[in-house]
Chains A and B, each alone.
Chain A
C-alpha cells in the first residue's frame, strides 16, 4: 500500500514537470472519437431512423410514410410466423452457441499443441470460413440429398437407413445447424487461438512442476485466463446465431413448412419481398431488445475481472 502511494506520488510530481500532455479524460475522448464518429454516422443514426420507421407504414417504394402508432407492434404479437421464426432462431442459437464455442475451444487447444502439420490442421478448420456462402450452401444441399447425397451414401454403406435431412421439418434445422457450425467454428477457433497465445508458457510449466495433470492445468489456468476471450466469443456467437440468415435462404428457403425460417430471414422477407418496411422495423426492434437483454446478462455473469 505504502509503496503504491509513493509511486503515485512520484508520478504526480513527474507529471507536473513533464512536457505538456493530455489529461486522461481528454485523451480518452480523443482516442475514441474517430471510431465513435464512424459508428455514430453509419450505425447509430440509421438505427434511430429505423426505430422511427417502425411506427409508420412505410412500404419502401412510396416515399410517403404515415404514422400508425403502435399498430406494427400489435400486429407482430398476433403474427404466428413471427413467433415461429423467433422460436426457430432461439432453437438455432441455443444449440449453436454452446456447441460451436466448445468445439472451437477444443480445436484451438488441439492445434495449439506442438504437433507436426498443425499449420495444415489450422488451415483445414479455417477453410470453411473462407468459402463463399453460396458455394458452401450449395455443396451441403447436394450432400444432404435424401435420395443419394454424399452423407446418405456413406450411411447406406455403413448399413444405416437413409435420412430425409433438409426435406423433413424435424431434421431440417439440425441439418442447417451442422452446416453452420462447420462453416463458423474455424472463426471462433482462430480467436480462441489468439487468446491462448496470451497465456504465458511459464504458468503451465510452473504447475507441471507441482505435479498437475493436463486436465487440471486446463481447468485452473486455461479456462480462467480465457474468460475475456470466452465472453467475447459467447456474446458475438449469440448475436450472430440469432441473426442467422444466409444459409437458410440458400439451402431451404425457410422450409420445409417454415421449419428453418429464422427471424432475420422473416424480417428480410417482410422488408424487401413484401415491402412492408414499417412492420419489418418493428420486428427488428423486438429482436434487438431481446438480444440486448441477453448480452447484458452475459456481461453480468461472465464479465468479471481476472487476477493473476
Chain B
C-alpha cells in the first residue's frame, strides 16, 4: 500500500516537473513578439487593430509593432540581423525572400500552413513566396499596376479609353494616344502636358521602378533571367527584350511623350495625361486630391498580356526565440480572415482566392481591372538570392535608356554584372 502511495507521489512529482519544464506554468508570464515593418499609416493602423484582437484572444502573447521610414528600412533590418538583435517578425519584400532564405536569416513556414491555406493562395503568390521547396512568409497582399488617365484631357483629344482588360490597347494604340495628349499649350517650347509617366517611367532607382518596368520586357515576349534563374545573357539582352527596350527608349527620346524629370505630382495637378500606378493610389487621391477626377484603364500589351505582381509580406526571423507564437500572429494577419480585414483597410489587391470571393467590388470597375489582370496575367519577378543586384542593374538599365543610352548596350552592360553575381550562387 505504501509502495503504491510512494509511486503515486513520485509520478505526481514527475508530472509537475514535466509541466514546469514545458512552460505551461509560464501561463502567468507574457511572451512578447516584436514585428518590424516600414511605415505607412493605413497598413500600420490595420495591423495594430489586428494585434489588439489577437492579444484579446491570446492574453499571454504581447505583440509590439515598430515601424521605420521606408527609405532606410532595409538598412535597419539588415543591421539588426547582422548585429544579433533582430525582431521576431519582419516585413519583407517578396523578391528579397530568396536572399534572406539562402542565408538562413528567416525560417521556413510550410510546416505551419494547412493544406487548405496553401490552396487558397493565388498561383502567382505561391510562386512568389516559395523558394528551394519551402514557403517562407505569410502573404499580405498582391500588387498590380494599371493606367490612370485624365478624362478631361482624353475628351479634349477625342480619345476613348478601354474599359476592360480584353479591350486593352496595344503598344501602338497607347503610343498614338500619348502623342496626341502631349502638348505645349502656350507655345514656349516647354511641354506643359506630358502624355505618359508614373511607375516604371519615372527612372528612379528603387524597387518600385523595377517592378513596373519589367513588364515592358515581358509583354514583348522577353525574359529577365533563364528559367532556372542562373543567367541573364540571352534573356535580358535577347532580341525580344532589346526590341521592347527600344520602344521604351523611343517614348523618352524620339516621341518625347515621357520625360526624365516630370514636375512632382504631375498627374493630379493636370500636367500629365496618363500615369501608371497601383490600387493604393486610390486612397491617396481620395484623401489628398479630393477634387481630382480620374479614370483607370488596363496596361497596354504587345505580344502577350503580362502584368507584374508581388508585394511585401511577413516572415519569421531565425533569431526569434518564439517562432511558434510569431507564426500565430503572422497567420492571424495573413490567414483567410485576416486577409479580409486587411483588404478593407488597405484596398490593395489580394493574395488569397477567398478574399476575392468575399468582396464583390473586386469584380466591379475599377477594381475589376486590377483583379482580372492579377488573376489571369500576373508574372512574379525573378526569384534568386542575387535579387538585390539584379533589381539594381535593371533599374539602372531602364534609367540609362530613358536618359538616352543605347538599349542593346545598356542591356549588355547589365547582363555582365548580373551574370557575375548569379555565378556566386551556382
Name the residue of chain B whose CB is nearest to the CB of A141: B264
Known: A61-B100, A62-B105, A256-B403. A269 touches B392 (CB 8 A): yes
For the complex formed, measure the closest distance between the CB of B414 and the CB atoms of chain A, giving whole angstroms: 13
B259 touches A275 (CB 8 A): no
Q: Name the segment of B51-59, B73-81, B116-124 touching the other chain.
A: B73-81
A: interface residue count bin: 20 to 34
Contacts of A257 in B (CB 8 A): 399-400, 403, 405
Q: Per-residue CB proximity of B388-404 to A under 8 Å, as 1/0?
A: 11001000000110010
Say yes or no: is B185 at the interface (Cβ < 8 Å to chain A).
Answer: no
- Within 8 Å by CB of B261, from A146, A254, A275, lies A146
Name the residue of chain B whose CB is nearest to the CB of A148: B190
Q: Name the segment of A98-106, A161-169, A217-225 touching the other chain.
A: A161-169
- Within 8 Å by CB of B264, from A142, A148, A167, A272, lies A142
A61 touches B99 (CB 8 A): yes
Q: Per-residue CB proximity of B87-127 to A under 8 Å, as 1/0?
A: 00000000000011001110000000000000000000000
Say yes or no: is A59 at the interface (Cβ < 8 Å to chain B).
Answer: yes
A166 touches B261 (CB 8 A): yes
Say yes or no: is B328 at the interface (Cβ < 8 Å to chain A).
Answer: no
Bound complex: CA A154 to CA B232 (Å): 47
Known: A147-B190, A169-B403. A272 touches B204 (CB 8 A): no
For the complex formed, measure the closest distance between the CB of A116 and the CB atoms of chain B, giving whole angstroms: 39
Contacts of B79 in A (CB 8 A): 60, 272
Known: A145-B261, A275-B78. A255 touches B403 (CB 8 A): yes
Known: A61-B99, A62-B103, A167-B260. A272 touches B190 (CB 8 A): no
Contacts of B389 in A (CB 8 A): 274
A274 touches B388 (CB 8 A): yes
A272 touches B392 (CB 8 A): no
A272 touches B78 (CB 8 A): yes
Say yes or no: is B191 at the interface (Cβ < 8 Å to chain A).
Answer: yes
Q: Per-residue CB proximity of B205-218 to A under 8 Å, as 1/0?
A: 11000000000000
Say yes or no: is A273 at the interface (Cβ < 8 Å to chain B).
Answer: yes
For the complex formed, measure the closest distance between the CB of B326 and the CB atoms of chain A, giving whole angstroms: 18
Bound complex: CA A148 to CA B259 (Å): 13
Say yes or no: is B42 at the interface (Cβ < 8 Å to chain A).
Answer: no
Contacts of B264 in A (CB 8 A): 142
- Within 8 Å by CB of A272, from B75, B84, B104, B261, lies B75
Say yes or no: is B263 at the interface (Cβ < 8 Å to chain A).
Answer: yes
Contacts of A275 in B (CB 8 A): 78, 99, 388
Bound complex: CA A147 to CA B262 (Å): 8
Q: Per-residue CB proximity of A141-159 to B under 8 Å, as 1/0?
A: 0100111100000001000
Name the residue of chain A whose CB is nearest to the CB of B209: A253
For the complex formed, measure the closest distance between the CB of A92 and the CB atoms of chain B, giving whole angstroms: 19
Known: A147-B190, A148-B263, A257-B400. A61 touches B82 (CB 8 A): yes
- Within 8 Å by CB of B260, from A148, A253, A256, A272, lies A256
Q: Per-residue CB proximity of B407-426 to A under 8 Å, as 1/0?
A: 00000000000000100000
Contacts of A169 in B (CB 8 A): 403
Bound complex: CA A62 to CA B205 (Å): 26
Q: Which of A237-296 contact B (CB under 8 A)?
A: 253-257, 269, 272-275, 277
Q: Per-residue CB proximity of B188-208 to A under 8 Å, as 1/0?
A: 101100000000000111100
Contacts of A145 in B (CB 8 A): 261, 263
For the complex formed, measure the closest distance between the CB of B1 and the CB atoms of chain A, giving whole angstroms: 59
Q: Which of A116-158 contact B (CB under 8 A)?
A: 142, 145-148, 156
Bound complex: CA A275 to CA B191 (Å): 41
A273 touches B392 (CB 8 A): yes
Bound complex: CA A183 to CA B190 (Å): 30
Bound complex: CA A60 to CA B80 (Å): 10
Bound complex: CA A274 to CA B420 (Å): 13
Name the residue of chain B whose CB is nearest to the CB of A253: B205
Name the residue of chain B whose CB is nearest to the CB of A146: B261
B405 touches A147 (CB 8 A): no
B403 touches A147 (CB 8 A): no
Name the residue of chain B whose CB is nearest to the CB of A81: B417
Name the residue of chain A whose CB is nearest to the CB of B386: A274
A60 touches B78 (CB 8 A): yes
Bound complex: CA A142 to CA B100 (Å): 37
Contacts of A142 in B (CB 8 A): 264
Contacts of B388 in A (CB 8 A): 273-275
Bound complex: CA A60 to CA B385 (Å): 13
* Residue of B82, B259, B392 ringed by the most chain A CB atoms within 10 A: B82
Q: Per-residue CB proximity of B39-71 to A under 8 Å, as 1/0?
A: 000000000000000000000000000000000
For the complex formed, measure the closest distance between the CB of B7 and the CB atoms of chain A, giving whole angstroms: 49
Known: A147-B263, A167-B261. A61 touches B103 (CB 8 A): yes
Contacts of B206 in A (CB 8 A): 253
For the complex formed, measure the closest distance between the CB of A8 and the CB atoms of chain B, giving whole angstroms: 55
Q: Per-residue CB proximity of B262-288 to A under 8 Å, as 1/0?
A: 111000000000000000000000000
Name the residue of chain B whose CB is nearest to the CB of A134: B71
Q: Per-residue CB proximity of B356-399 to A under 8 Å, as 1/0?
A: 00000000000000000000000000000000110010000001
Contacts of B84 in A (CB 8 A): 63
Known: A167-B260, A257-B403. A162 touches B190 (CB 8 A): yes
Contacts of A274 in B (CB 8 A): 388-389, 392, 421
Contacts of B259 in A (CB 8 A): 147
Name the residue of chain A whose CB is nearest to the CB of B417: A81
Contacts of A162 in B (CB 8 A): 190
Contacts of B261 in A (CB 8 A): 145-147, 166-167
Q: Which of A28-87 contact B (CB under 8 A)?
A: 59-63
Q: Which A-B residue pairs are the 6 nearest by beta carbons?
A: A62-B103, A61-B103, A253-B205, A61-B105, A272-B75, A256-B403
- Ordered by A's residue number, 11 sampled pairs between the chains whose C-beta atoms are within 8 Å are A61-B99, A63-B82, A147-B190, A147-B191, A162-B190, A167-B261, A256-B260, A257-B399, A257-B405, A272-B74, A274-B389
5 more A-B contacts (CB under 8 A) besides A257-B399, A257-B405, A274-B389? A59-B103, A60-B79, A156-B188, A253-B206, A255-B205
